[in-house]
Structure 1
Amino acid sequence: MNSKQISAFIKSGEMTRKPVGDGLYIRVQTPGKASWEVRYTVNGKRKFITLAGGQYPQVTLADAKAQAAVIKANAKKGIDPKAERQKSNRVEIYTVDDLFVDWHAGLCKRLKHPNVPKRIYEKEVKPYIGQQPIDSVGARDIRDIIQKVEESGRPSTANDTLMYCKQMFNHACKLDLAKNNPASPFSVNDAGGLEKSRDRALSMDELSKLFPILRSYPAAFTRDNYLAIALLLVLGVRKNELTEAKWSELDLVSQLWHLPAERSKTGVAITIPLPTEILPWLEELKMRACGSEFLFPSRKTNAKRGHISPDTLNHALSKMFGKPVNGGTRHYPNVFAQANIDHFTIHDLRRTCRSLMSGLGIPGHVAERCLNHKLKGVEAIYNRYDYLDERREAHEKLANSLIPLVNSDSRLNN
């Protein structure tokens, strides 16, 4: 077919494909519009492919014949143009940041909390090798990263950082983006060491020293942080469950907090009773939130999230132990050591809550449900009772024992 015959075919309104010659076809699927196709054979299979670059007449007959000749020549060599086109449409994965995005997309489908590896990558890995080409990252780069984390006094995070680096570069090897995994030679002994189960819980004597110290350093430990510590001790919830809480979850009239399943670590929703004694804390937080939907709104105007960072409380506590945070230049003395308070973490407050409940004579199964722990064994299968009334009484008892320590602040006594 020549150009005149092709134009006549298009105007005829016939919806079909017609051969032009040498494997080139003109195809009409929409009245008045035609596209070029090439028939080729690769690995014994006959296929059609639409030429890229536009329809007729944007792609002239001469250009279409030239493209068809290249396609057929490559097909004889076993190169499938459709497969090559799919390769060219792939998202380019060149830097470590590109690799993380591709790897993390898979995690989002499998993990309940994919933000954990994302947070560790963005804080511990990205600043050092995020913009490097994947094949340029070596074992010494990985060693520098995990040593820096370990030297900052976060052995568990160092181990997690190493674990995620191994997984991420294994992903690179699977995709043929790297010949070897630069993190594979390292073990936990090179990072944070073998982790032991923590059993740290603060005593009432330590708590009686803790709150006056926190009140004495409002610049290092803000009022919001102070109230967060008190709530964690009384309610026994996990840190992120509290710091990401929304006012819409709380019913201050019924004194109930409906923690949804998607924010619960166990994946099961739970209703948490709110003791009467802590309602003034919540009312103060609501006033301080200035209309935010979160109990603890972000303190940065350009923050990506509406609530405070997952590290906010950790950093504030670190300051009180005399540790500089994020390269900060302002140093505080280790005021807790001066008061004979041994090192503890935010998560240890949850264990402290459980220990204090035992000391108050609260039955173990009730205390476990207060911490939203799943019941075990046969009891988990048959016991569907949620102990709401018993849990309310347990939290009230605990609140009554802690209120004198927390509310020594004159602002709450007025």
Structure 2
Amino acid sequence: MNDKQVKALIKQGEHARHAIGNGLYLRIANQNIGYWVVRYTINKKRREITIGKYPDLSLADAKFNASEIKREVSNGIDPIAEKKRNKTPEFNTVDDLAEDWLKECAKRLKHPNIPRRVYTKDIAPTIGELGIDQVNPRDIRAIINNIAESNRPTIANDCLMYCKQLFRHAIKLDLRTSNPAEAFTVSDAGGVEKSRSRALSLEELSQVFKCFRENHNQFTRENYLAVALLLCLGVRKGELVASKWEEFDFEAALWHIPQERSKTGRGISVPLAPTVIEWLKELQIRAYGSEFVFPNRRASKRFGHISPDTINAAIQKLFKQEKMPVAHFTVHDLRRTCRSLLAESGIAGHVAERCLNHKLKGVEGIYDRYDYLDERREALSVLVEQLKSYV
């Protein structure tokens, strides 16, 4: 059959199927349209696939495509199955791979925003637009070195861990055969991290808050009250900065932290001393009707509340400017300071642990379900009375 015969058959418009040879057929459909169809048998099943429309695909090209399909079938490849496979997502760049990996993280991690933040801020700018197979160990070293040089050893270690996970995901998807991050260890990134033991004394706290007041133009009143609340309540930074006014019951003097924002996975009611309530009511005025206790100060940010790094950055800025009169400390050290001050005040260990919303260990943690609310209220009241003259 030649092109002239093909045109004649289509012009007739008779709905039919005409054999061309080697499994190729011309199928005439309604409205005088001809389609090329290839029939084949694989795994003892008869199948057919449409490969194009005439004249978009010429007779010569249709014959060539049919011979290619027959060759694939002889090698055990089913073109219909391959066509379905090609509907799966395409992974061209590291950004494509990362998006798929981060979706997996969201299924198994309680806080999937953490690897997403590290990837977006520290990994993507260097390799995000590269092809997945183009990334080499030198790229990984550049990423972790940049972070380590910015004095963020913990983030450098986390970043290395996420790079390893990311490219293991690539190997799992058969997009790479090797992991460019696998040979690196924490000694190449942020180093082995030592457990911190820093807790501030009352004298140091007095100097710290004096420094905050003297630099009120750069260390805002909201930051000042946030530090005071972290010290007097012993809560985690993430629990405080994302808190909403609907969680607070001033009449009952309680803050109900929901379980989805609690690191332990259990909600807890935090008793509020009168002085703490006064600070919160001041923050409520400063919030200007926001649902958040610490509303975002920039409308373009993705959080409705301030960034988790806002307080850290404000304190570290004072250290960099050499204005802070005490040895270096971090926001998390305030929580350790709270625990130390509770111990110094003679608060029983199990009560102090519950004040910090720690899970009790061992058998005691399994059987002791009592929440110690009254005991915690008394303990935190003692702590506030001890601290309010310094804050």
The answer for the alignment partner of 1:334 in structure 2 is 322
Q: Which amino acid aligns with 1:239?
A: K
The answer for the alignment partner of 1:379 in structure 2 is 364
Residue 132, structure 1, aligned to residue 130, structure 2:
yes
Structure-to-structure mapping, 1:6-405, within 5 angstroms: 22=23, 40-42=40-42, 44-46=43-45, 48=47, 51=50, 71-72=69-70, 74-322=72-320, 333-336=321-324, 339=325, 341-405=326-390
**CA 1:317–1:36: 2 relative to 1, 3 Å:** farther
Q: Which amino acid aligns with 2:329?
A: F
Please give the secondary structure, in 1, of the residue aligned with 2:141.
helix
1:345-398 Cα deviation digits (max 9, x unpaired):
111111111111111111110110111111111112211111111111111111
The answer for the alignment partner of 2:4 in structure 1 is none
Alpha-carbon distance in structure 2 between the residues aligned to 1:153 and 1:357: 32
Q: Count how many residue pairs are aligned between Structure 1 and Structure 2.
A: 373
Alpha-carbon distance in structure 2 between the residues aligned to 1:276 and 1:149: 43
Alpha-carbon distance in structure 2 between the residues aligned to 1:85 and 1:314: 52
CA contact (8 A) 1:220 1:319 kept: no
Deviation at 1:38, TM superposition (A): 6.5
Please give the secondary structure, in 1, of the residue aligned with 2:389.
helix
**CA 1:59–1:245: 2 relative to 1, 3 Å:** farther
Q: Which amino acid aligns with 2:323?
A: V
Alpha-carbon distance in structure 2 between the residues aligned to 1:113 and 1:39: 52
> What TM-score results when the alignment is normalised by the length of structure 2?
0.86
The answer for the alignment partner of 1:14 in structure 2 is none
Q: Which amino acid aligns with 2:41?
A: T
Alpha-carbon distance in structure 2 between the residues aligned to 1:191 and 1:234: 35
Please give the secondary structure, in 2, of the residue aligned with 1:85.
helix
Q: Which amino acid aligns with 1:135?
A: D
Calculate the aligned-residue CA RMSD, in Å: 3.0
Please give the secondary structure, in 1, of the residue aligned with 2:256.
strand
Please give the secondary structure, in 2, of the residue aligned with 1:258.
strand
**CA 1:134–1:254: 2 relative to 1, 3 Å:** same
Deviation at 1:282, TM superposition (A): 0.8
Please give the secondary structure, in 1, of the residue aligned with 2:110.
coil
**CA 1:293–1:96: 2 relative to 1, 3 Å:** same
Alpha-carbon distance in structure 2 between the residues aligned to 1:188 and 1:361: 40
CA contact (8 A) 1:162 1:191 kept: yes
Q: Which amino acid aligns with 2:372?
A: Y
Deviation at 1:317, TM superposition (A): 1.4
**CA 1:389–1:39: 2 relative to 1, 3 Å:** farther
Alpha-carbon distance in structure 2 between the residues aligned to 1:368 and 1:405: 24
CA contact (8 A) 1:236 1:353 kept: yes
1:237-258 Cα deviation digits (max 9, x unpaired):
1111111111111122222111
CA contact (8 A) 2:49 2:80 kept: no
Between the aligned residues of both structures, percent identity stands at 53
Please give the secondary structure, in 1, of the residue aligned with 2:388.
helix
**Which runs of 5 or more residues in structure 1 are unaligned?**
9-18, 29-34, 323-332, 407-414
Please give the secondary structure, in 1, of the residue aligned with 2:255.
strand
1:165-185 Cα deviation digits (max 9, x unpaired):
111122222223234222122
Alpha-carbon distance in structure 2 between the residues aligned to 1:241 and 1:49: 60
**CA 1:348–1:71: 2 relative to 1, 3 Å:** same
CA contact (8 A) 1:23 1:40 kept: no
**CA 1:393–1:168: 2 relative to 1, 3 Å:** same
CA contact (8 A) 1:24 1:38 kept: yes
Alpha-carbon distance in structure 2 between the residues aligned to 1:36 and 1:278: 79
CA contact (8 A) 2:37 2:51 kept: no
Alpha-carbon distance in structure 2 between the residues aligned to 1:53 and 1:241: 60
Alpha-carbon distance in structure 2 between the residues aligned to 1:375 and 1:118: 31
